[in-house]
Structure 1
Amino acid sequence: MRPAPLTRRLGLADAVFLGLGSMIGAGVFAAFAPAAHAAGAGLLPALVVAAVVAYCNATSSARLAAIHPESGGTYVYGRERLGEFWGYLAGWGFVTGKTASCAAMALTVVAYAAPGLGQPWRSLVAVAVVAALTAVNYFGVHRSALATRVIVTCTLLVLTVAAVTMGVGPHAGGPLVAWPGTGGILEAAGLLFFAFAGYARLATLGEEVRDPARTIPRAIPLALGITLVVYAALAVLLLVRLGPAALAATPDPIAAAVPGWLAPVVRAGAALAALGSLLALVLGVSRTTLAMSRDGHLPRFLAAVHPRYGVPHRAELAVGLVVAVLAASLDLRAAIGFSSFAVLMYYAVANAAALTLRSSRFVAVLGLAGCVVLAFSLPWTSVLTGAGVLSLGASAYGVRRMRR
């Protein structure tokens, strides 16, 4: 007997805020420095490349979500349009990559909220953050959506104040846009894509959205468009205020670019934004875990839906446990690099699945090519680690097939 379905509680505004909570999170406070290190004054062209690939992925995801309004996102699309293996590989990449992202977000919360905290207290606080966010998700997705609304609103307010003060402050001068080389642009675009990738969370919630055939295709471009405007404005202001070299060398560029009295507020906003990202990430990973468990690719006991709260409570607890372990032991930069590679491969499957549809194939081809190029433009350690984990998942799939 098929497990009980999830409850449809989310409307358009809830879906848009969940997407914004995933995209306008820790990435807006942390992604610009490593991207500027790779591209220098070519940060803006890199942002355009990342946005184009993100738009293609969002368009393919929206079209597929309207046809397959189930929990699981590209795991479902790949399975239904390309075959069981490709759906499994997409799901495996999403779960492993985004679990690493969850750990990175938890560590980011601690880094901004308590920058002077040493080990083992840093790990303990990160684990406590994961436990608190898992509890919020456990008691219902509508509560998660409400919490995300509050977090996104506060984050946008902090960013608005920071942008205004940067705009009226002294300028460093120097070139606003340059072309440091194709390799640097693509590497920076791959790093910036990490901050754009949150719209996938909307597709993974397809079973909990009211009228998903209309709501998801509208929510994804809305959330992506708002995010792009915010990122582009901040990129310009940071380049003007700090200059490319200082931006690349500053681990907390927005806090460094605002007046001293505002820096603590920015750090508090960064911690809150990372909490919002973590909240939405755990939500999406647990839903993909639910879908894969229903199909037997993960333990079937994880497919249970809580009779009162209407959420996949076992999947959420399992994801929370794994994230807590990673947050206590993982390196932040390694987690981000691996996550970027795995998520780009996840979207490559989404675009390949969209090629089976009758319309907008050019967008799907561009998105597929963009994902592959950006993934293999990342640092080689990230590429090797990501390829190894995906190969491990493919091997496990093959072993199960042989046993059947």
Structure 2
Amino acid sequence: MSAQPAAGSSPALQQSLGTFQLWGIAVGLVISGEYFGWSYGWASAGTLGFTITALFVAAMYTTFIFSFTELTTSIPHAGGPFAYSKRAFGPLGGYLAGAATLIEFVFAPPAIALAIGAYLNVQFPQIDPKLAAVGAYLIFMTLNIVGVQIAASFELLMALLAIFELLVFMGVVSPGFSMANFSKGGWAGQDSFSALAIPGMFAAIPFAIWFFLAIEGVAMAAEEAKDPKRSIPIAYITGIITLVLLAIGVMVFAGGAGDWTKLANINDPLPQAMRLIVGDHSKWLHMLVWLGLFGLIASFHGIILGYSRQIYALAREAYLPRYLAAVHPRFKTPHRAIIAGGVVGIAAIYSDELIQFGGQTLTANIVTMSVFGAITMYILSMLSLFKLRRAEPHMARPFRAPFYPLFPAIALAGACVCMATMIYYNPLIFGLFAAFMALGYGFFLATKSNRAMHVAA
């Protein structure tokens, strides 16, 4: 399915992405989650408690990806979940999934940009992390505008370098690894499991999700894939396997490097974990800081690609201002959508008073906001899969979810558990998330006539 431009607008997106590039996008979108963000889960659950949480979330994501791939290959559309829910539940379903996905993909980049600033600050203490974050936005927005082929090739290179760096990290810290370090106080500060550890394990769910958040963004590159029905399943399945193995390895090796409590509330746990082994002046440490940026850049760059396609798809069908649906006549990229998402992300970086509450850091709260959008979209996507199986049994499905209905049911149940616990532990952030959704719904109602004209055209 090729993208069709709105009447009188600029050209459609260009189909140029191969399987290996899509795998690079799948891994690159997520891999910054192995570098930072997840360690905040240790603060509430401890290392062992968080391991249980992470394995639960990994099972949810694995079954979700196998199920989500059916939707992606059946309906290859730049809007991804927006298109699936719209087909299953009509315009309102499309709005809910599209808005939730947009919140996920617009709020993830500022958290990553702040981590880029933190990594640079380790090497150059005089650099303001927030200014570095803004600089990252300007650079990678520009790269995304220049062309999807260049952007995807760069993403693949960054993903490969990031994987190499994570393997180097595990190798360097392995001589000092101790399971005793990892397990000490591993049940929410206690050495043995008790019922008191369970609340912390639930509270840590957003940070376990951060390990895998945004892998579904490959769906938003479907219109730009050469052969989406073949290449997307391969990219998704190999991507989730790669990420699960890396997540387990990084978490275990970092926790066993020394006193893990020193890593639980910071944006750069890997350099600090390595510092516990090699000291402050080791060349390994400096190498990790520099190469560690590759993982952050890979996800940052890839999620910019993802949010821009979501904004473009929503605007193309009049769910957002049609102005944002323009495609650059030379580069064939949605340049206005790229810039619009960047403006919101930069504003979030400087939103300390709005988002920094609940006793958590700004980064932790931005991560949680992004996760609320993701979980809402996961629930709607699995419901769409069930609905379309019943309503359109003869729809072409190049890839069918294995073990149906078990896999999508596991993914749906896991997402519902995650949503319920996140609301319980993060009521203020959920209120802000609900307010964003409500504001968007007001725009959705106000522009109903525009969508009617779009359909008529």
Same fold by TM-score, threshold 0.5 exceeded? yes
Q: Quick check: 1:314 aligned with 2:345?
A: no
- Do 1:110 and 1:271's aligned partners in 2 also have CA atoms closer than 8 Å? no
Structure 2 counterpart of 1:365, one-letter code: A
Deviations along 1:140-193, one digit per CA (max 9) or x if unpaired, are 111111111221222122211110122211526156475564332233232121
Aligned residue in 1 for 2:443: 396
Residue deviations 1:93-124 (CA, integer Å, cap 9, x gap): 121232111111111111111246579x4433
Check conservation: 2:118, 2:267, Cα contact below 8 A.
no
The equivalent residue for 1:80 is 87
**C-alpha separation between the residues in 2 aligned to 1:292 and 1:130?**
22
Mark the runs of 5 or more structure 2 residues left unpaired by the alignment.
Answer: 1-5, 188-192, 353-361, 390-400, 453-457
Residue identity matched to 1:348: I
Distance 2:267 2:303 in 1: 23
Q: Of 33, 44, 51, which aligns to 1:44? A: 51
Give the counterpart letter for 1:266 in structure 2: L
Q: Distance between the aligned counterparts of 1:320 and 1:236, measured in 2?
A: 34
Give 1:21-40 correspondences, 5 Å limit. 21-25=28-32, 27-40=33-46
TM-score by length of 1: 0.92
Q: Does the 8 Å contact 1:30/1:252 carry over to 2?
A: yes
1:274-314 CA distance string (max 9 Å, x none): 11111111100010111101110111121122222111122
Identity of aligned residues (%): 23
Q: How does 1:302-381 map to 2 (within 5 A)?
A: 302-330=324-352, 331-358=362-389, 360-378=404-422, 379-380=425-426, 381=428
The structure 2 residue matched to 1:297, chosen from 302, 319, 323, is 319
Contact 2:13–2:333 under 8 Å retained in 1:
yes
Match of 1:208 among 203, 221, 224: 224
Q: Which moved more, 1:274-283 or 1:177-186?
A: 177-186
Q: Which runs of 5+ in 1 are unaligned?
A: none
* Conserved 8 A contact 2:118-2:268: no
Q: C-alpha distance in 1, partners of 2:177/2:373?
A: 40
User: TM-score w.r.t. structure 2 length?
Assistant: 0.82
Change (3 A) 1:145 1:190: same
User: Which residue of the partner structure matches residue 264 of structure 2?
Assistant: 248
What is the 5 A alignment of 1:215-254? 215-242=231-258, 245-248=261-264, 252-254=268-270
CA distance in 2, matches of 1:175, 1:110: 28
Q: What residue is the counterpart of 2:120 in the other structure?
A: 113
How far did 1:251 drift?
A: 5.1
Match of 1:182 among 185, 189, 198: 198
Tell me the CA shift for residue 357 of structure 1.
4.0
Post-superposition Cα deviations, 1:310-336, rounded to whole Å, max 9, x if no partner, equal: 111221122223223333445322211
Contact 2:31–2:211 (Cα < 8 Å) also in 1:
yes
Separation (CA, whole Å) in 1 of partners of 2:351 and 2:429: 17
- Once structures 1 and 2 are overlaid, which stretch shifts more, 275-284 or 153-162? 153-162
The answer to whether residue 197 in structure 2 is matched with residue 150 in structure 1 is no
